[in-house]
Structure 1
Amino acid sequence: MKKIIAFFCVITNCVFLQANPLSDSIINNLCKSDYEYLKEKVGENKININFKKAWLLKAKKEGNLIEQINAYRQLMINEPNSKKKNYSDSIITVALKTNENNIIGSAFLNKGIVFYENKELVKALNYYLKAEDYLEKTKDLYTSNKTKYAIAQTKYYLGFYDEAIKIFNEVAVFFIEENDRAYLNTLHALGLCYQKINNFNKSKYYIDLGKNLSQEWNIKEMLKYFEHTQAINLYHQKKYNLCIEGLKKVIPKLNRENDFDNKTVAEFYIAKSYWQQKKYKDALPYLLKVDKTFLEKNYIRPDIRENYELLIKYYKQKEDTKLQLLYINRLLEVDELLNHNYKNLSQKIFKEYDAKKLINAKNEIENAMKWKNKVAYATSFFLLISTVVIISKHRRKSKYYKLKFDELMTSSNNSNSNSSKSLDVDLEINPEIVEMVLKNLEKFEKTKKYLEKDMTLSRIASYLKTNTKYASKIILKHRGKKTIDYINDLKIEQIIDLLKTENKYRNYTNKALADEVGFGSTQNFTRAFKNRTDISPTYFIEKLNELQ
């Protein structure tokens, strides 16, 4: 019987490689395998959920509560937050059936982490506290202290710094004996807490201790975080040039880790350091980088809210009412997000531009702009000269746009996307894996999977049957583009081909065209179209219609 099951596992594995996802009948048969086999297959490909489903189904059929929890934990990997919440609820439901305090506590901890990752800090804290109640009744000291650390970290982000310090000091006593990396994380957290309450001597003590131990224990990846906090301490001590120098050294290290969180904080404090020295032009590029991260990642923290106050001040000094109005509106957006994610803390922060003041300033600027429009009628001579200049520029632009249109009409579909020159990128990946991924990439292109909405790097990696790091490197090497540009160009080439060959699409709105090729918004579609072609989709359609 074991030989039959083993043979069946080989056959189903072959089917798995050919088709994804597996059918329910195959998963039903696959769950007859032993747990070791299923775990091995999950370990080989954490993105694919088929063996995870078989693992869960087997555990349910056998009434094995522990393996059900293990399977649910695997299913959570690489899933969106909504699914993670559902799986974490299932883990709690199963854990409660075990009547084991350590298992139940871990389940509540898991749920708290899901909320924490989604910036729902108050909800996260509530689940952490439930986890602590159960874990304190057990001998599982490591998970108990891990939970206390999570509680302290959340309290830090909610602004309860004194409470966080007390808990961090408690867990530090445990971690110094049990886990070097966790101990260093705790030292760093203490340095941050003391920085927030302006006790820079204590902050420096923990930062220096952390740096020394990182070197001594050869955990050098922690050094950049201690250096980051150390540089911000220098800002608070009015040593602005040293702060700038320290943060500029740290940013490349953060870039290598794709740590946009700490990178954004570093950029903000570089900007503030320049600002304090009245070097406003030097500060501006860093203020704009923080804004760019907010637009791209929807990321902001209460302690860098001031970034928008400085932008408003800068453009007010420049008497640029349009950009002043832009950043007033942006700050209103920021406050809305902060009030949702950091409700407790945002109420404590001093806001030079509170909501009422912002709205008043916005109304004043808008009224002033209306008045200027009325005054403009009296400046007809100036407008006449301006019109001549604009017409001249328009003619030059028209020639340029026509040239770009002609290039598009003579180019074949996907000429830009799939035949891009390879870049000189050192992959450091097994050639067999590269070959497999490239075959899957060709299939991905031929089947036009790129037209699906919300095509993230994780989803692409899933289609290519690899991890996100390998996927992005191989695409950059062999398609000559970053992943987002590669996908956007494929989508744009598809819509260009449809507009050329099928008249009905020329009657579509930009929103409808964006939906047709899977863009998340009209704005993203029009931006991607212009990046690819140097002309707008509206202009392209107008010129196509003129050819008829």
Structure 2
Amino acid sequence: MSDVQRIGIILFILIFKVTSCFSQETSESIKLNEAWKSSTYEQLESLFMKANNRFDTVQMYSIARYMLERGKKENNHAYYINGYQLLSLTDQRLGKYKESLKHINKSIYYLEQTEAYDKKDRVYLNKGYIHQYLGEYDLALDSYTKGLSFVAEESKNMKVGFIYAIGSLKSFLYDVQGALDEYLEILRLLNEDKSDVYNNKEILRLRCLKQIARLYIDLGNYEEALNHCQEVIDAKEIIEKSNNLRDKIILVEVYMGLGCIYTFTGDYEKAFHSLEIADSMNNTVDVDYIDAFLHFFKARVFFFSGEYNKAITELNSLEALEDNYNFNHFFLEEKNILFAKSHQKLGDIEVATNYFNKSLSVLKENDERKARLNKNLLKRYDLNTLEEELTTTKTKLENQKSKTVALQVIFVMVLICLTLFYINNKRRNKKRFESLIAEIDTALKTKEEDENRQRESILKIDDVEVQKILERLQLFEKNKEYLDKETNLLTLSKKLNTNTAYLSNIINRYKKKSFNTYLMDLRLETVLERLHNEKRFRAYKIESIAEEMGFKNVNTFTRTFKKKTGINPSYFIRRLNK
């Protein structure tokens, strides 16, 4: 038999096999479509969710298309609304977020023409999720707000869904306390639920614990964050039993959280190990936005552990995902800073400068977005009817409990005491602020006179060496060299060509304070003067102000500021901005 004949036979067999498979698949599809014809709207939706839970995107797509065909045939807008919504969910599974958005918008187009459709809230909730995945937080907020207006009083699960979504949005906006309040509210509702009103109660509880862990990371409370992560891991059997692959993401995000905790506490080996576990778990669910987070967190570990080339490799992978899916998350602002610092460490100053300039531009843009979004969040969500409904629900629940008069009286008394404490504290802070402003104004007016007096005092000192040191100290103050965070008694004594004991003695004698107090007072005087005079400086984050003024960390700055002035720097800035 010739080679040509052999090839011909092989091709015939392959064509026969492929045709057979295609015939079987088509036959199977026809059977499914025949079965769907007799299915109700609710049954089709149930079939879709089962396919969704097992990530069967082929069947998900088929059911969604069939719904659209049925809607066209029966001229039923409800099928159009749901069909496009299910297509949108299928696109999300495939990582096609822009396509997903197009389909959910088509769903809303038919929704707006249909008064009778009773699941409008769900459509807008899904639209909000898509915008949030893409980092389009203002559009996500619009969708959540619109959806909330359609939530029925008895729809407890949907209300919790919106609370969870808005908590998630608040966390992305760095409103950590606001987000924490939302998740704690959900846990409270779940704990009080004795009749199993809420669907997948245990899974929802674990989702909240996972989110709370993430918020504690943002607050720098790594011990609490670790406890919450561990609580989820201890209950991983609940997640593993779930047929919904999306629930597996809970564990992926918990291990990412552990990666962050260990990174910030300096245990880089554990950090990378946790992220590798998260990465391997994500292979089973394959969610693109999680890939973006993983590359970012790995880059952070590599940077802090000094492996700058590896950090850049991870950042390049993140950038490719960002370009492909048009992500616009706030956390990506740190990407450019990591790029700049890594290239700087490797000596590539030109590239580092480009990324540094890019990071400044992104930070400015994001600050504007955050300010606008936080304002809208307070205006639209906190004053929304949902809050009134939740308050009503709370009142009903409280009325059902047999509270004694004694407890009510105690509660009122405590509330009065807290209110009085708050009012007195506010008055005290206001007085301190006004007194501080007066002191600053006086100091600014007499600054030149004080400097002249200081020069005259120095000239009257007989000891020539002491005169020289005091003159150099005056120059040190004038040039604001004390803002260098590396300045200490040793470095300054070397700069002034003297020894630490002699310099310390001169400062004690002529400045009437210890060296550390002298240094901190100079820095605080500059902080107060700049905050008082420069509106732009007041827009900086507290961390940035501490950094620029030479403090080792934000805690030292806040503690020193409070000790010196009697009020917190954040309160001082707020009052100045009024």
**TM-score, normalising length: structure 2:** 0.46
**TM-score, normalising length: structure 1:** 0.49
Q: Select the structure of larger CA radius of gyration.
A: 2
